[in-house]
Structure 1
Amino acid sequence: MTLDTDAVEAIAFDSYGTIVDVNTVEEPLSEYVENPEAVAELWRNRSLQYAMVGNAIEEYHSFYELIRHALKWALDARGVELDESEREEILSTYHELAVFDDVREGMERLREAGYDLYVVSNGNEEMLDSMVDHADLGDLLEATVSADEVERFKPEAELYSHAADRIGTPTEEIAFAAAGWWDVPGAMHAGMQGVWVNRQDTLWGPYDADPDLTVATFHDLADEFET
């Protein structure tokens, strides 16, 4: 498939791993564990698994609660015993994750090209507020849409459809950009045009449909909409 930029009225972005770097958590983890990269990967993967299982069994907890439980699981799996205050200190890093260098300028270019920008995220409202503030993106975004609003996590179609209702634009007129190999197909299944921001040079699928567009950075995305 090919991105139809002429049909796009708004652009929505995922947050964690797309706008901000979840690997930032490796720094505080390094104070307590020998292999922070491995623990961070366990933590991230477990939190996503909790979200998807929660969808399947119709049990909802905020994403911050899920990552809190996932952190404890990852530490326990590695035999690392930390008290609650130490775990909460590591967890708080999610409010100050590093912003990818291309985000601000790429979004500015898209705004200047005439597109309204949104964030659609599994993060709860407090997480998204802190992310927008820390990333200094408030002047570029029209709104953020949280899984809390429907109590369903991506890649469930319900959250993408709800986002389209909030944006006030049909799903097919929204380009959704995300780094998650699982997130983009969810948006496409809901009817959005899917842009895969393949930041880590990972593999796609296997799925029947390819992304409508694959880019490495927000600069590449802006190039597509400025032509």
Structure 2
Amino acid sequence: MNHTAYVFDAYGTLFDVHAAVRRHAGEIGPDGQVLSEIWRAKQLEYSWVLTLMGSYRDFWELTERALDFAFARVPSVDPALRQKLLDAYWKLDCFPEVPGMLASLKASGARIAILSNGSPAMLEAAVRSAALDKVVDEIFSVDAVKRFKTDPQVYDLVTTAWRLYPQSVSFQSSNRWDIAGARQFGFRTVWINRFSQPDEYQDHAPDLILPSLQGLVA
């Protein structure tokens, strides 16, 4: 099926969530990778738990809380670096193939959107920093429904706004749980398995698995 609507998860799919820590690796020391992994894991955990509880907090607040927890778990890293890391998170590097791939899809006539847990301010800053604002048609943030992925209301933001059937949307994410949620909703799903992770959620299989966004075709 030829798709004319391509929707991308942001963090981990377009933007490298570990870039903030890597940018200050010299000051952080040898435990930087551990700190970054805990930071990301807790950021996501907080979003899932809040949604299950029927509660909501801005994703930036969760990002701050998760970093504080990571500092507590990794005492070898100086917590005085907190503000530097938070500032860096607003300008995460995008993965190398992202600008060219999105530009190619855009040139083919496809509509391009981001659908993310990120707050509107976070996403707008990341898109501008990566110079993707000319190719992204719309940014959908969960803030509009005050629920995090994988709540169906999140994926419905796209189909409602663009007046599309779910199967008309090609959804790309590096997060396997996100792919499972999108598949359950009815999107055509492409799992961007950047780090050769084992497959899971076998009953919600992606339509396609790629090691990067390279290979997407309109």
Q: Structure 2 length normalisation: TM-score?
A: 0.94
Q: 199, 202, 209: which one pairs with 1:204?
A: 199
Q: 17, 36, 43: which one pairs with 1:47?
A: 43
Q: 118, 127, 131: which one pairs with 1:132?
A: 127
Q: Which amino acid aligns with 1:154?
A: K
- How many residues were matched structurally? 216
Are 1:193 and 1:212, in contact at CA under 8 Å, matched by a contact in 2? yes
Are 1:118 and 1:144, in contact at CA under 8 Å, matched by a contact in 2? yes
Shift of residue 17, structure 1, vs aligned partner:
0.6
Q: Deviations over 1:93-150 (max 9, x none)?
A: 1111111110011111111222100000000011011011011111111100001111
Q: Which amino acid aligns with 1:42?
A: I
**Separation (CA, whole Å) in 2 of partners of 1:9 and 1:170:** 12
Q: Which amino acid aligns with 2:69?
A: W
Are 2:171 and 2:188, in contact at CA under 8 Å, matched by a contact in 1? yes
Shift of residue 34, structure 1, vs aligned partner:
3.2
Are 1:164 and 1:171, in contact at CA under 8 Å, matched by a contact in 2? yes
Identity of aligned residues (%): 28
User: Does residue 66 of the first structure (1) align with residue 62 of the second (2)?
Assistant: yes
Q: Deviations over 1:165-186 (max 9, x none)?
A: 1222121110100111111111
User: Does residue 82 of the first structure (1) align with residue 92 of the second (2)?
Assistant: no
Q: Structure 1 length normalisation: TM-score?
A: 0.90
Are 2:31 and 2:74, in contact at CA under 8 Å, matched by a contact in 1? no
* Change over 3 Å in CA distance of 1:29–1:147 after alignment to 2: farther
**Separation (CA, whole Å) in 2 of partners of 1:186 and 1:33:** 37
Q: Which amino acid aligns with 1:58?
A: G
Shift of residue 81, structure 1, vs aligned partner:
5.5
Match of 1:190 in 2: 185
Q: Which runs of 5+ in 2 are unaligned?
A: none
After superposition, the CA RMSD in angstroms is: 1.4
Q: How does 1:85-124 map to 2 (within 5 A)?
A: 86-124=81-119
SS in 2 for 1:221: coil
* Change over 3 Å in CA distance of 1:74–1:58 after alignment to 2: same
Q: Which runs of 5+ in 1 are unaligned?
A: none
Shift of residue 33, structure 1, vs aligned partner:
4.5
User: Does residue 152 of the first structure (1) align with residue 142 of the second (2)?
Assistant: no
Q: Which amino acid aligns with 2:36?
A: A
Runs (4+) of structure 1 exceeding 4 A deviation are none
The structure with higher relative contact order (CA 8 Å, sep 6+) is 1
**Separation (CA, whole Å) in 2 of partners of 1:58 and 1:30:** 40
Are 1:181 and 1:196, in contact at CA under 8 Å, matched by a contact in 2? yes
Are 1:29 and 1:90, in contact at CA under 8 Å, matched by a contact in 2? no
Are 2:28 and 2:78, in contact at CA under 8 Å, matched by a contact in 1? no
